[in-house]
Structure 1
C-alpha cells in the first residue's frame, strides 16, 4: 500500500513540473499582446475573451477612515463571517448596486495615503456576470445529476499530507516554483506579473487597519544561487531572499468593514473577500503565473488543485502540495490541502490545456486562506480549510488594480 502511495505522489510531482521545462519556447502567435504601463516588456494577456467595459469608467474617491482603539482590539478569528456565498450556488442576480459595492476597494500607498474607490460598471459587464453565474448553476446541477446518489460524502477538513519539500536547485528555479514569494508579515503570495503579487487580505489588513505601514512591508524573492547552510537552517534565513519594498496595496472595501460608529462589537469580515494585491516598487525578475476564472469545469468537486508556499516562519523551505476539491460554491473552495499559517496567501492553481499554443499552462484560480473557523448567518460556526475562488468579478477587479481598466485583461 505504501509503495503505491509513494509512487502516486512521485508521479504527481513529476507531472507537475515536467511540462514547465519548455515554457520559455512557447509561441505567442494567436494571442493578443499588450504593452503594460509598468514595463517595456511585451507580455501575453491572460485570456482570449474580453470583458465589456467603458474606456474610462467613472471613479468616486474619498479618504479612508482610520480605525478607532475599540475597532483595533478585534482579531481576525473573532469576526470571520460567511453568508449565502457558503451555501452553494444560490439562485440570485447581481444588481448594479451589489456589483458596485463588491468592486469597490481601498488602496494604500507608500506615501501614507488611503483612498476608497468606487467604480460605475458597464451594463454589458453586469449581463456577462449574470450569464456566467447562470451557466455555473447549470453546470453544478449537471454535475450533481451525474453522481451516484448512494455515494455518501465523507466530512474531511484536512486530508492526507501530500507535501513535497523542494530541495533541488534546478526545480526551485523553474516555473511554477519561482513564482512563490514570502511576505514580511509572515504569509505567502504568488507573482501574477513582474511587479504584482496576489495574496490574502488577512496577510496585510486585519479588517480594521493595515497590519503594518506600507513602507514596512517587503516581499521576499528566493535567491537563485545555492544557499549557505546557515541560510537553509534558518540562522541567516532573511539573506536567502531578495527583499523588494512595496508601493501600493489593494484590498476589497468589504474586507475592511467596520461596525456602526459609536458602537462596539464585531465587524463581519466576509471570507470570500479575503484577497489582496501588492504592487512592488521594482520588478521581481522572475516568472509569473497567469490568473484565470475558477469554474465548476476546472475547480469543481473532485478536481485536483496545487499550490506551493514557504511554510516555516524563519526558514526558506518551499513546499509543494496537491489535493482534491471536496466542495465548492460560487465564491469559495473547500479543499483538503494541508498548510500552515505561513501558507496563507499562496496562489492555488490548476493545469489547463491552451488550444492556441498547444501546451499545458498553470493558471491561478484561487487564494489559499487556510484552516478557518467562521460564523454563518444563523449564528452557528463552521470549520473548514478554505480558499477564495477567482470569479469574473474578482478577476476584473484584480485586472483594474493592475491596469486601470477591467477590460484590459482577458477573462
Structure 2
C-alpha cells in the first residue's frame, strides 16, 4: 500500500496501471489543519557549531529562524517500509504553513541536496495522521556555513556492527554527509575505512566556516594508518573536497579498540570535545590494544595530551599494561595537570585513558597517539638466560 499526501484545496488524481485486467482501488482521508498556528520555535546562527536537531515525528510544526537563511537535511528511517512516510513531511519556505512549499521529506532525501529558505524562516510540518517515521531526524543549520556544499545527505546506521558505506560525489563541488546518534549522551561512530580520492574533513556537529569544531582531516588513500577511528558527539558531518569517496562506518568500535598495530596513528577525545560548549557529559573510557590473532604484542605507545580541561574534581587517568601488569599509570587532576604537547613513550600491549568529570562541565580532552615498534618482545630475555646458563 502506498500513501500519498496532498496539501492543495482541490485537484485531480489520475491513476493508471502498466498491465490490463488489474483491479485496484484507493481510499481518501481528509484532515483539516488546526485553526491556529502553534509551533516549536528555534534559532540557528552562523557561530553555532552544533546543528539544531528535531525528531521528524511531531504533533506540532517546527519553525526555525536563521541569521541568514535556514539549511535543512534529513536522516532517513532505518526501516525501508517507513521511507514512503517521509512524504508526510512538508517543508515550507517561511514562518508558517501558508508559505510556499519547498517539497517533502522524501524529495529532500532522494535529491541529496539541502533545502534552503529564501528568507530567514523555514517551517516543517508532519501531516496528519502522523505515520511512524522511525529515527528520522531533521538537521537545521545557518546556510552561511553550508552554502559551499553541493551534494548533501543525511545517513542512518541500519546495523550497529556494520552501518554500510555512504557514497559521496564531489565531482561538481563539495559533498557532505551528516549522521546523528539516537541519544545525545551516548553512542559512537567508527570510521573503519575509506576509498576514493580527495580530502575528507570530520566535524563534531555541522560544517562551520571557522572550522572551530573540525576534529580530523584525512587524505583519502594516504591515511589508512589512521583508521579505524572512533568519533563521539551527537552529530557528525563528513565533508569531501575532491572527486568521490566511499566511507565505511559502524556503531560498534571494537575494530578501533583492537587496532594497535605498529605504525598506527589516532586519537582519543571526550564526547563533546570541539562541540563549542562545555558539557557535564564528557566522561569517557578509551583504550587500544595490540594483538596479532589471539596473541598480545609488546609495542611502544607514544602519546601526547594536546588539551585537557580540569574543573572541580575532574580526573584523567592514563594507564599502560604490559603482559597484564601495570607498567605506567598517571592520575591527572586540577592540581596535578599534564604537560600539554609533551610526548610520552611507554612499552606495553594495552593503553587506556579514563576521563571522569563527575558532572562538572568541561571542554573535555584530546590526546593523540602513535604505535611504534618495540625493541623487545615477550620471552626473548628469558630465553637468552636459559641458553647462556646451559652453555657455561
TM-score range, shorter chain: under 0.3
Q: TM-score if structure 1 supplies the norm length?
A: 0.21
**Structure with greater helix percent:** 1
Larger relative contact order, structure 1 or 2 (CA cutoff 8 Å, min sep 6): 1
Q: TM-score if structure 2 supplies the norm length?
A: 0.22
**Structure with greater strand percent:** 2
Larger Rg: 2
